[in-house]
């Protein structure tokens, strides 16, 4: 079914249709926060117990905690969109506190993420909270060294292992990209750093250095890698959508440039339904727990940009936007 034809027949934009779902519920938000923090604490405690039995168990023991911290990030994400609580003040301060767990300075991230929503899929406004994406023509115009750098950046080892570690452990310690744009970004980064130091000291004093190095840090970094993977397949899929002005349209970019990552139900819950990403980009203030309601109410939304775990693995080879074919392609096409 052509989803845009459905919109045209109704004479009403999807943003207007879905507006009734964009109603933050403080009570529901508090329940989600409590459940998520309890889940994180439980998986963290489980990992610590396994590590105390044998440090060799750490690689497996931290996996549940990593998925739990992804859900923590989703709450921080919803707070940034004003979707977690009805109060903007509550959203801001809870988002800042959760940023200590996710290694992410909240105010810096929120601004970059808002720019991502405003410009996603626009070839003239790349570089704001996105994965760097070149067109085929731009790649061909680069020097051999420039092509090599882009290939290295797009290598799976860099994209999903080295990159997340660098970004969350090092890059986020400074307001990179915002160093001259106001004190709020410096305060956000430095306050998060102080929170990280205090939390690390508390963990070492209460549970020992193994808890920090073999439990907490691996959980945070593995969670970062999972988060980067989710973000990648939400926007780097075939055919996706990129365009230049005036062809770029916000609603089309949301529907065709954001995927529907149709995960198993338990995994969809654990990742805060962020796989229903095209709906999120249509109306970002819809709380994450209401995203499944949207696709049940409008089943035609299930057919656009759908990816399964198996089909999403093919997205790894997609590295360039072909402006002529209007689809993502790999280096082999060039």
pLDDT at 3 over 70: no
Domain residue extents for the chain: 13-333
Can you list the positions of beta strands (E) in the chain? 134-135, 260-261, 306-307, 320-322, 327-329
Please state the φ and ψ torsions of residue 176, each to the nearest 5 degrees.
-60, 130
Q: In terms of DSSP bridges, do strands 134-135 and 260-261 run parallel, antiparallel, or are they unpaired?
A: unpaired
- Predicted TM-score (pTM) of the model is 0.93
Rounded Cα distance, 215 and 208, in Å: 11
pLDDT of amino acid 334: 87
Is the distance from CB of 209 to CB of 58 less than 8 angstroms? no
Stretch 41-61: mean pLDDT, rounded? Answer: 96
In this structure, are residues 331 and 140 in contact, taking their beta carbons and an 8 Å threshold? Answer: no
pLDDT digits (tens, 9 = 90+) for 270-320: 999 999 999 999 999 999 999 999 999 999 999 889 999 999 999 999 999
Q: Which residue has the tokens 């506190």?
A: 97
For residues 169 and 252, what is the distance between their CA atoms, to the nearest angstrom? 35
Q: Which two tokens stand for residue 89?
A: 């003040």
Residue 220 has pLDDT above 50, yes or no: yes
Confidence band for 332, pLDDT divided at 50, 70 and 90: very high
């Amino acid at each position: 079914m052509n989803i845009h034809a459905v919109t045209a027949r109704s004479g009403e934009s999807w943003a207007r249709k879905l507006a009734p779902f964009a109603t933050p519920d403080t009570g529901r938000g508090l329940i989600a926060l409590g459940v998520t923090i309890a889940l994180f604490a439980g998986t963290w405690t489980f990992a610590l117990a396994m590590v105390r039995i044998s440090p060799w168990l750490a690689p497996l023991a931290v996996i549940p905690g990593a998925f739990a911290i992804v859900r923590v990030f989703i709450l921080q994400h919803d707070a940034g969109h004003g979707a977690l609580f009805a109060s903007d003040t509550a959203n801001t301060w809870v988002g800042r506190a959760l940023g200590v767990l996710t290694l992410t300075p909240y105010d810096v991230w929120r601004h970059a993420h808002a720019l991502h929503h405003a410009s996603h899929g626009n070839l003239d406004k790349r570089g704001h909270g996105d994965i760097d994406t070149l067109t085929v023509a731009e790649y061909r115009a680069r020097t051999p060294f420039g092509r090599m750098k882009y290939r290295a950046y797009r290598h799976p080892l860099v994209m999903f292992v080295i990159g997340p570690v660098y970004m969350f452990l090092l890059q986020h310690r400074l307001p990179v990209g915002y160093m001259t744009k106001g004190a709020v970004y410096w305060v956000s980064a430095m306050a998060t750093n102080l929170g990280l130091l205090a939390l690390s000291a508390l963990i070492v004093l209460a549970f020992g250095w193994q808890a920090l190095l073999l439990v907490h840090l691996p959980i945070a970094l593995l969670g970062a890698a999972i988060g980067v993977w989710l973000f990648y397949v939400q926007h780097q899929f075939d055919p996706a959508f990129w365009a230049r002005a005036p062809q770029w349209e916000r609603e089309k970019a949301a529907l065709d440039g954001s995927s529907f990552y149709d995960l198993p139900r338990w995994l969809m819950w654990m990742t805060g339904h962020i796989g229903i990403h095209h709906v999120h980009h249509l109306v970002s203030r819809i709380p994450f727990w209401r995203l499944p309601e949207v696709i049940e109410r409008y089943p035609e939304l299930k057919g656009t940009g759908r990816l399964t775990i198996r089909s999403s693995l093919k997205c790894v080879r997609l590295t360039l936007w072909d402006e002529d074919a209007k689809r993502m392609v790999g280096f082999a096409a060039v």
